Each structure stands twice: as structure tokens, then as C-alpha cells.
């Protein structure tokens, strides 16, 4: 479990506490876009917000063209009125910088600020995030409006939180224009200092790519054959850093003028590959994330749990904010299925269970114009005469009953390692298999833990793992020397590791490590890989326990490790019957297990269950599969969240008081299909 004394934990916890103290409870609300509505509507909004129990709204996210209608000509009067009105109604504000949507005058005056795609198309205005992250004119204009906002609203009593930008990099992280090319070269100079270093890191003797001048270096634009993979990987790092630099610049103005009010930015967890979420979270006072379900996925609640655990991991174990989710359908999937009755409440409480102290939505009032008019909201098109509104007001009441939960931390004895750099590297061009996808691996391993009822923290590979009983590493193709050493030290210190296929293979530059594979983890795992054996998409590999695996296999040669499961019948080109598929190696007081394939869920579940048993990890509660149980703990007490994802009722053991209904459970509780209870447990 994350160390509760860790500096980052304390910083994130205390910052969010200042917000929720001012709100007097869990934050509840959403994005509010008053600029899209006439003034009469604002008064109704403020009144209805109170009725729904809303205590926080995010204002100004996309207001730049209203706040600065012409260059340098600011109009804050309407925003003053909105903030005053909200304050008068007891609704606090998370004030956003509007920099995610530069106004048309800006794009018109600075056409070179428009982003360029990999194939060289310059994108046009008419949308949002239409800017190149490295463009100096954009930086200048963004800095100016942020400085003005920070100065003007630093002491406004409604403002309890600053919201920097909106979902950094969602649409524009990778820009390939000439300005980006120049910024990339500067970034490379800082990273490598000399061209010799760069040539070595990029392996430029391959295909005659040796650089003799920094000016020769380009972004990884469209090329006839495969682009240099390290160039591609570095471009991802550079692009994430370019946005992080913007985040830092905006944050600096806010901190200068408004040092007492914490700041955040809404991150996207696994929904955003292009920015390194851990790096951004570290720069925030409060960590917040957005999460949207994939409507076509019947197991979407498992992905929700994963992202909530990742949000907590980004917050170093501290409580965090769910900054956006949806009351019902979104507008950007092929078919935007509405949430079923009760689903919104279940989703919201599932986030709280995993450490959220805020339940916020996109958005407060459903738009009537623009690209998001078919996106659900707290106050839908048909207003208060709607099932959504009834659910929204009910949720507001229930969240008030959960006030004591805020500030508590989540129990987790297991960690799951997640790393954006390993994700980027695994999915570069020209790998042994394009079907080995990072999120598939992470999701399937997480699902095993979820269905066994174990809560995990999702942490970067370099974090302090010593407090966890077991650590899962679904995929770590790229691993730095330090992170590999961290895993070794964890096992030597008595920890139990489970590591997934094709991990430990390349170094920080995406160079294959010397000696037999997997170079960084060979000794830890007590084996080497004779050959990687990717499997065709339609083929299945039989395992010795009668189950199957797919996508990937390896021919292992065991040294100190022993096999706990073997391949039974290989697919064409796959492993031979009898070769090891899952292995274990004793490491001092700990152990390191390896899964050299992509097994079906049941095998993964059995392997993870055995690991947890060995490590002494117990499920949170004795509940049937399909019922999620998560515990939050505060000084002197614990809260058990029980979420029934099944259609039928179940009986679960529990002793305590339901925070919402006040009912006491003296041993068991009958939980209706789709229902949730939050129980203050007896000692």
C-alpha cells in the first residue's frame, strides 16, 4: 500500500482537503458553460444547481473567444457576474484557463500555429485544441490570458480550485510542423548534448541514418519505410514534454498570483496514450481525471475500476477528483448507448470507492448547439421532467450522506505496474507481433484481480513497492536499468512478482539488451528466452491444464526457475508440447513468476489467485463474482463499498451502518441487482 507519509501523497491529500473543506463535503457538479446561454438561464442554472446538491462547477474551459474577443481586448464582466451569481447561491468554482480552444482571431493571425499531421496536412480552425504545442505565438497568447485570469480571480471567494487547460494533448499532442521540428531538436540537444550520443541512442548506423548536423534531424514524419523507432519514441517523449512545459507555464502564473488556491488539470488515465499521465500528475496539487465508458463493452465497469485505481496511483495514493464522466450517453462513439437506470449512480460510487472525493460530469446543462448537443448532461434537453434529473438530484442527496468518506484512503495490498513509456515502445512499428497490445495485457491482468476481489494500486515501475505483498507487471517491454533494479530489489526483499510476456527486453533507447532475453529480467526470472513465438490471430495454443492461450508464446530455457504450467500443443510455429508457459523462481525471501503467453482469463485468474494466496493477500470481502467490494479507511474507521454489477440480488456478509439509508447490518446485507451500499463498518 502506498506510504501515507510520502511527500506527494501528503501534498495531494492536503490540497484536495482544502477544496472539500470549503465545499463541506464531496465535490459534486460538472462543466458549466454559461457563455452558451442567455443571462436568464444563468439564474435558473444557479437555482437548479442548489436543488441538485451541486457544490462545484468548472467554469471557463472553452471561453477564450468571449474573454478576449479581440487580441488584448479583455471582457471579464460577464465572468464576474457568473462567479458572483454562483457564489451567492453557494456554488463554488473550479476556474479553468481557456487555453484548450484558441479563438478564431488567433488562428487567423497566426496560421503557422495550426497543427500539422504526420502526413503533412495543416489542420484548420473550427474545433478545439487547434494549436501546435510548441508554437511561441500560442504560448505568448495563452500566457497573457492565464496571467490576467489569475490576477483577477486570485481572491474571488467562489474560486476554490484552478483548472489548467483541458485534457492536455487529447487532440493535438503530436504535431509535425517545422516549429515542432525546431523544438524537437532543442529537446534532443538537452537530452543527448552531442550528436555522437544521439547517433548511438538512435542506432543511426542502421540504414545509413547517421546525423552530422542537428538541422538534419526531422520529426518522425511520413517515410517510405519504417521510421527509426527511437526517433519515434523520442518524439512521443518530446511531445508529452512540450505539453507538460505548457502546463508548467500556466501553473506558474496561477501559483504566482493565487498561491493559496490549489490547481489541477483533468487527465485521462488509460484513455490518453499520448501524454505521460504520471508526469503531469506530479505537477498538480490535486489530481483529477475524466472517465468515459465504452458503451459497446459489457465489462466497461472493470475498465472504470482500472482507471480509478490508476487515478489514485497518479495521486500517490491520495484522494483524487473525478472531473468528468457522463450522466448517460456520450456523443463520440459509433452508437451512443444511454446508461441504464441506476448505472450513473453505480459508476459514480464506484469512483468514490476507489478514492475519488469528487463526482463531476461533462456537463451541467446539455447544449443545444455545437458538436456536443447530443452528449448527456446533468440537466438534459427536457429539463427537470426527466429521469436523468431525478437520478442527478438523488445522487446529490446520497453524496451528502457520504461526507465522512472524504479524505479516507483505499486499502490495497497489491500493486499493478503501469508505464506510458513501455506502452509507447511496445506499440512502435516493426515488432514481432502487432497484436500484442499494451492495454489488452493490462486490462486482462487487471480483470483477473478485479474478479478475485483484490483492490490494487496502479503505480509506475520506479515507485516504492516495498509495502505491497504482491506486484503484477502485465507488460514492461521497455524497462530502464533503475526500474529493473527496483523490481529485483522488491523480490529480494520478500515481495512476490508476476511478470508478463515480452517484458524486460529493451533499454530506455529501445535497444535490445545484450545476452539472452529478457536481458533486464533474466536473472530475476531464472530463465532465458530461446525464441519469441508470436501466434496468428486465429490460432489457439493448448496449455497442459486443458485451457488455451493466444497471440503470443515463447520458447523458454529454465535455469533456476521451475514450470508451473506448460504448453500442451503448439499452434503452427508455436511452442512444442511440454515447454514451460508459466514459471516461478525463488528470489531470496520473495519470488518472481513469469507468464510467457497471453492465456485465457481463467488461467490468468488462477495464476493471480495462487500468487495472492502465496503472498497472503485476502480479498476485500467475501462476495460473489460480479459484486465489487472496496474498502476506504480513515483514522478510526472504515467504509466498505459494495457494488452489485449483477442483475439479481445477492446476500453479502457485512457488519455496519449504511451511510445512505441509516440501516444497520448485523452480519449480512441483501443487495439488490445493480444496487450499491456504503457501509460504515463496526470495529
Report the catalytic residues.
Answer: 167, 324
Please identify, using beta-carbon distances, which residue of 2 and 376 lies nearer to ligand GAL.
Answer: 376
- CA pair distance 315, 324, nearest whole angstrom: 17
Do 383 and 79 touch, CB atoms closer than 8 A? no
Distance of CA 67 to CAs 41, 88, 228, 372, Å? 19, 22, 44, 21
List residues near ligand GAL by CB under 6 A: 166-167, 170, 290, 292, 324, 330, 362, 372, 375
Closest distance to ligand GAL from the beta carbon of 127 (Å):
11
Do 531 and 575 touch, CB atoms closer than 8 A? no
Closest distance to ligand GAL from the beta carbon of 364 (Å):
12
Please identify, using beta-carbon distances, which residue of 227 and 360 lies nearer to ligand GAL.
Answer: 360
Helix %, strand %, coil % for the chain, to 5?
35, 20, 45
DSSP at 116: B
Please identify, using beta-carbon distances, which residue of 170 and 455 lies nearer to ligand GAL.
Answer: 170
Closest distance to ligand GAL from the beta carbon of 374 (Å):
11
For residue 356, the cross-strand partners are 320
Please identify, using beta-carbon distances, which residue of 358 and 535 lies nearer to ligand GAL.
Answer: 358
Closest distance to ligand GAL from the beta carbon of 372 (Å):
6
Closest distance to ligand GAL from the beta carbon of 272 (Å):
9
Please identify, using beta-carbon distances, which residue of 202 and 362 lies nearer to ligand GAL.
Answer: 362
Question: What are the residue ranges of helices labelled H in 53-193?
Answer: 64-67, 77-88, 104-109, 136-153, 178-192
Do 181 and 218 touch, CB atoms closer than 8 A? yes
Closest distance to ligand GAL from the beta carbon of 170 (Å):
6
Please identify, using beta-carbon distances, which residue of 362 and 552 lies nearer to ligand GAL.
Answer: 362
CA distance between the termini of the chain: 21
Closest distance to ligand GAL from the beta carbon of 289 (Å):
11
DSSP run (H or E) holding 341: none
Could you give the dihedral angle defined by the CA atoms of residues 500, 504, 507 and 509, in that order, rounded to the nearest 10 degrees? -20
Is residue 84 helix, strand or coil? helix
Is residue 429 helix, strand or coil? coil
Residue 361 C-alpha cell reads as: 460530469
- What's the distance, CA 493 to chain centroid? 29
Please identify, using beta-carbon distances, which residue of 167 and 250 lies nearer to ligand GAL.
Answer: 167
Letter string b/e over residues 417-435, b meaning 16 or more CB atoms within 10 A of that residue's CB: bbbbbbbbbbebeebebee
Position with the least CB separation from ligand GAL: 362
Is residue 22 helix, strand or coil? helix
Amino acid at each position: 500500500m502506498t506510504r501515507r507519509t510520502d511527500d506527494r501523497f501528503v501534498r495531494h491529500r492536503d490540497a484536495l482537503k482544502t477544496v472539500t473543506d470549503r465545499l463541506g463535503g464531496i465535490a459534486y457538479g460538472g462543466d458549466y458553460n454559461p457563455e452558451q446561454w442567455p443571462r436568464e438561464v444563468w439564474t435558473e442554472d444557479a437555482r437548479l444547481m442548489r436543488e441538485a446538491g451541486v457544490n462545484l462547477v468548472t467554469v471557463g474551459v472553452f471561453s477564450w473567444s468571449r474573454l478576449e474577443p479581440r487580441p488584448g481586448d479583455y471582457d471579464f464582466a460577464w465572468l464576474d457576474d457568473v462567479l458572483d451569481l454562483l457564489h451567492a447561491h453557494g456554488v463554488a468554482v473550479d476556474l479553468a484557463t481557456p487555453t484548450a480552444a484558441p479563438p478564431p482571431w488567433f488562428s487567423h493571425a497566426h496560421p503557422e500555429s495550426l497543427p500539422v499531421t504526420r502526413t503533412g496536412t495543416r489542420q484548420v480552425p473550427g474545433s478545439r485544441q487547434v494549436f501546435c504545442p510548441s508554437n511561441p505565438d500560442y504560448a505568448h497568447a495563452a500566457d497573457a490570458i492565464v496571467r490576467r485570469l489569475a490576477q483577477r480571480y486570485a481572491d474571488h471567494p467562489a474560486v476554490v480550485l484552478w483548472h489548467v487547460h483541458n485534457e492536455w494533448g487529447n487532440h493535438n499532442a503530436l504535431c509535425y510542423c517545422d516549429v515542432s521540428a525546431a523544438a524537437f531538436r532543442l529537446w534532443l540537444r538537452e537530452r543527448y548534448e552531442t550528436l555522437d550520443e544521439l547517433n548511438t541512442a538512435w542506432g543511426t548506423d542502421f540504414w545509413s541514418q547517421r546525423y552530422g548536423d542537428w538541422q538534419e534531424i526531422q520529426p518522425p514524419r511520413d517515410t517510405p519505410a519504417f521510421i527509426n523507432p527511437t526517433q519515434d519514441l523520442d518524439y512521443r517523449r518530446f511531445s508529452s514534454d512540450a505539453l507538460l512545459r505548457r502546463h508548467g507555464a500556466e501553473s506558474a502564473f496561477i501559483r504566482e498570483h493565487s498561491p493559496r488556491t490549489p490547481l489541477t488539470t483533468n487527465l485521462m488515465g488509460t484513455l490518453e496514450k499520448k501524454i505521460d499521465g504520471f508526469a503531469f500528475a506530479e505537477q498538480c496539487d490535486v489530481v483529477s481525471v475524466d472517465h468515459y465508458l465504452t458503451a459497446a463493452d459489457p465489462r466497461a465497469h472493470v475498465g472504470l475500476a482500472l482507471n480509478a485505481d490508476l487515478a489514485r496511483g497518479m495521486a500517490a495514493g491520495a484522494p483524487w477528483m473525478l472531473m468528468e464522466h457522463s450522466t448517460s450517453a456520450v456523443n463520440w462513439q459509433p452508437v451512443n448507448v444511454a446508461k441504464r437506470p441506476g448505472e450513473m449512480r453505480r459508476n459514480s460510487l464506484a469512483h468514490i470507492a476507489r478514492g475519488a472525493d469528487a463526482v463531476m460530469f461533462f456537463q451541467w446543462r446539455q447544449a443545444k448547439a455545437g458538436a456536443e448537443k447530443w452528449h448527456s448532461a446533468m440537466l438534459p434537453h427536457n429539463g427537470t421532467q426527466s429521469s436523468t434529473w431525478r437520478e442527478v438530484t438523488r445522487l446529490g442527496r446520497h453524496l451528502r450522506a457520504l461526507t465522512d468518506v472524504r479524505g479516507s484512503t483505499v486499502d490495497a495490498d497489491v500493486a499493478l505496474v503501469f508505464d506510458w513509456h513501455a506502452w509507447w515502445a511496445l506499440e512502435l512499428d516493426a515488432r514481432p507481433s502487432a497484436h500484442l497490445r499494451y492495454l489488452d495485457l493490462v486490462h486482462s491482468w487487471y480483470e483477473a484481480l478485479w474478479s478475485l476481489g483484490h483492490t490494487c494500486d496502479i503505480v509506475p515501475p520506479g515507485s516504492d513497492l516495498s509495502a505491497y505483498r504482491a506486484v503484477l507487471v502485465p507488460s514492461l517491454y521497455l524497462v530502464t536499468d533503475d526500474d529493473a533494479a527496483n523490481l529485483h530489489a522488491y523480490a529480494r526483499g520478500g515481495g512476490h512478482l508476476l511478470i508478463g510476456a515480452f517484458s524486460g527486453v529493451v533499454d530506455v533507447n529501445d535497444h535490445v539488451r545484450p545476452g539472452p532475453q529478457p536481458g533486464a529480467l533474466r536473472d530475476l526470472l531464472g530463465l532465458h528466452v530461446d525464441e519469441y513465438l508470436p501466434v496468428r490471430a486465429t490460432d489457439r495454443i493448448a496449455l497442459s491444464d486443458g485451457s488455451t492461450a493466444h497471440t503470443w508464446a515463447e520458447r523458454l530455457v529454465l535455469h533456476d526457475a521451475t514450470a508451473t504450467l506448460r504448453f500442451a500443443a503448439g499452434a503452427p510455429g508455436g511452442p512444442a508440447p511440454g515447454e514451460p508457459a508459466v514459471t516461478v523462481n525463488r528470489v531470496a525471501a520473495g519470488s518472481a513468476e513469469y507468464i510467457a503467453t497471453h492465456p485465457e482469463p481463467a488461467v490468468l485468474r488462477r495464476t493471480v489467485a495462487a500468487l495472492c494466496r502465496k503472498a497472503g493477500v485476502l480479498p476485500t470481502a467475501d462476495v460473489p463474482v460480479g459484486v465489487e467490494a472496496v474498502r476506504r479507511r480513515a483514522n478510526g474507521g472504515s467504509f466498505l463499498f459494495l457494488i452489485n454489477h449483477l442483475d439479481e440480488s445477492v446476500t453479502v456478509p457485512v457488519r455496519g451502518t449504511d451511510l445512505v439509508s441509516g440501516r444497520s447490518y448485523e452480519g449480512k446485507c441483501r443487495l439488490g441487482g445493480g444496487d450499491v451500499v456504503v457501509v460504515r463498518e463496526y470495529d
